[in-house]
Amino acid sequence: SGRRGDSGRRGEVDAVKVLVIGAGAREHALVTALAADPVVDAVIAAPGNPGMAAIALCEPVEATDAAAVTALAARHAVDLVVIGPEAPLVAGVADAVREAGIACYGPSAEAARLEGSKSFAKEVMAAADVPTGMGRLCTSIEEVAEALDAFGAPHVVKDDGLAAGKGVVVTDEREAALEHARACLDKEGGAVVIEEFLDGPEVSLFVVSDGHTVVPLTPAQDFKRVFDGDEGPNTGGMGAYSPLPWAAPDLVDEVVRRVAQPTITEMALRGTPFVGTLFIGLALTSRGPRVIEFNARFGDPETQVVLARLLSPLGGLLYAAATGTLEQVPRLRWSDEAAVTVVIAAENYPGTPRTGDVIEGLDVVEEVPGAYVLHAGTRFGEDGTIVSAGGRVLSVVGRGADLAQARERAYAAVGRITLDGSHHRADIALQAVRGEVSVAGSV
Ligand code: AMP
Ligand code: GLY
């Protein structure tokens, strides 16, 4: 398997066996899309979850253990490893897999610094002339205080290192900003980035890259705060939708031209080509799109709605990226349908979540047309039950002719599921459906 078709063009393959690393709803969405690609003849997930177990072989491997992941890939003779989360990327798992001669979709540890270090990302953006907010790297509380005063409120304080989406505090209160900065600085080698506040709706755009060529996916919007109306602390993401009916038609082209291609080119020039998903988090300000952050992987839960709308086969795309042949991939096709996902979270998430509760209703969700469930923090309980095992437990997806219908279906499906103590946002995609999202200064 994995060979190039004798009669096919370069970069085409007959049959690929894929190993997906990760255990969340993002990986469940990836496994689902890969399994649906005729070129993919087997999918293995490690460690996976009960949702993935229904369509793929799950192997109990620690995602950040490079030697174990490489050994597993070799044992199953996979043609491609797809790495979902950031932790294994930053830990160098992609490097280890490639060193073993196996194609890998996911950046090297060096390239993953675009996510792993906020200050490195800022440095690359400056070198590539990518539009972003002003920021200052601070290693002492005195520097922080000075930067906070220079930029003024609202204050944006970011842990320089990886923090699972929870390292950022945006606040009007100087004391709260200082307190978060202190907590970050207290860590070994701690540093924080103080940033200018960027106003405007946020967009997540994923681009697939082989290190040189860039293929954009369709944009989505994420809901980071835990409560309705964007209240409460940041989470990994409580829901998402796509497409963005309010976005400018040339948004994707503009972001590829001004952000994605210059960044990918800069990384290649530095000798650390970025192979994988460059996740561009943008604020659409009155002065145009500005990068809020880069991630080195697919976003969760945005991936759940982006892949729900992808008509082109995913396996061929990721294999081409991993083997440097993205230029030959035909233009991606997208469904006109809309997709909305709502995350069902365990009690107390994003704090320490309550776990071990039985989830009911999973078997009746698909009675709702266009709806299905992706598993995140779940595990098998006794007597064939499925129980909660993490903060974000499920990602419920609804597809429909437009956002309103997709949204109705997602919430109808959420209503069929019971999990003691769980919570979810009730306003995912609501403003978009009502036509209440707009970019300042645009018509
Ligand atoms: P990050 O981890 O950098 O994506 O930040 C998490 C969230 O904090 C973002 O999705 C934004 O909602 C918010 N945020 C981060 N940086 C800024 C900024 N410079 N201006 C406004 N909001 C920001
Ligand atoms: N949903 C944002 C992230 O994956 O970081």
**Parallel, antiparallel, or unpaired: how do β-strands 378-380 and 386-388 relate?**
antiparallel
- pLDDT at residue 9, rounded to an integer: 44
* Other CB atoms within 10 A of residue 299 CB: 24
Residue of 86, 203, 234, 302 to mutate, ligand 2, most atoms within 8 A of C-beta: 302
Q: Write down the H helix ranges in 205-301.
A: 251-255, 261-269
Q: What is the pLDDT of residue 168?
A: 87
Query: Ligand 1 centre and the CA of 244: distance in Å?
Result: 19
| CA of residue 421 to ligand 2 center, whole Å | 24
* CA distances from residue 239 to 119, 301, 365 in whole angstroms, order as listed: 28, 6, 17
Rounded to the nearest 5°, which phi and psi values hold at 329?
A: -80, 130
Ligand nearest to the CA of residue 299, numbered in listed order: 2
pLDDT at 300: 98
Residue closest by Cα to atom 2 of ligand 2: 299
- Environment class of residue 347 by beta-carbon count within 10 Å: exposed (0-12), middle (13-18) or buried (19+)? middle
Atom of ligand 1 nearest to the CA of 199: 21
Residue closest to 203 by CA, chosen among 215, 213, 217: 217
Q: In whole angstroms, what is the distance from residue 60 CA to residue 188 CA?
A: 31
The predicted-structure confidence for 296-308, as pLDDT tens digits, reads as follows 999 999 999 999 9
Q: Smallest Cα–Cα separation from 296: which of 47, 108, 137?
A: 108
Helix (H, G, I), strand (E, B) or coil at 252: helix
pLDDT tens digits, 108-163 = 999 999 998 888 999 999 999 999 999 899 999 999 999 999 999 999 999 987 76
Beta bridge partners of 238: none
Residue type, 355: T
Q: Pocket of ligand 2, candidates 295, 305, 425: which has the most ligand atoms within 8 Å of its Cβ, to mutate?
A: 295
82, 318 contact by CB (below 8 A): yes
- Alpha carbon nearest to ligand 2 atom 5, residue: 299
Beta strands in 252-364 (DSSP E): 275-285, 288-295, 338-345
Distance from the alpha carbon of residue 99 to the mean position of ligand 2, in angstroms = 28
Please tell me the residue having the least CA distance from ligand 1 atom 1: 293
Residue nearest to atom 15 of ligand 1 (CA): 292
Ligand number nearest to the C-alpha of 222? 2
Which residue ranges in the chain fall short of pLDDT 50? 1-10, 443
Q: How far is the CA of 292 from the centre of ligand 1 (A)?
A: 6
295 Cβ below 6 A of ligand 2? yes
User: What CA–CA distance (Å, rounded) separates 281 from 263?
Assistant: 13
**Ligand 2 near 261 CB (within 6 A):** no
